[in-house]
Amino acid sequence: MVYLIKIKVAKAQAILNEEINWDEDLIASMNLVPDEYRGLDRFEARKKVVAEITAEGLAVMVDATDNEGNLSTKAFVESKPIMQPFGDRSKVVIEPMLTDQWFVETSKIVKPALDAVKNGEIKIISRER
């Protein structure tokens, strides 16, 4: 079982073990998700998501054989080796935190620059000069 901890930190003081408040009510689980996934462990939530996607017919299916040589189809869930960080003390997987991403539509930037070169507003001088 994984517990979240609450820590009080005084100014410029090291955290002592006595200052750590282990709170068994704060179990690490899925909360900011649809109701059917709330409270599930992240690994159980992933299994349930794959099962639901498969049931809806949205999963990419591949042929698979079991240990006895029986052929069946199953959802294609890639098993790629990744550098997975673990907490030093807890030995629990450290999940990346999703953040907002931003992108630039380069066509809006490139067009005025190309027009400026074509109109002669900007001259490109070669390195040989």
Task: Name the token pair of 105.
Answer: 């539509």
* pLDDT value, residue 2: 45
pLDDT band at 57 (very low <50, low <70, confident <90, very high): confident
Distance in angstroms between the alpha carbons of the first and the last residue of the chain: 69
Query: Would you say residue 21 has pLDDT above 70?
Result: no
The pTM of this model reads: 0.40
* pLDDT value, residue 97: 75
User: Which residues, 6 or more positions from 96, have their beta carbon under 8 angstroms from its beta carbon?
Assistant: none
- Residue linked to tokens 């999963």: 59
* pLDDT value, residue 25: 54
Average pLDDT, the chain: 75
Could you tell me which residue, 25 or 7, shows the higher pLDDT? 25
Question: 25, 28, 29: which is closest to 39 by C-alpha?
Answer: 29
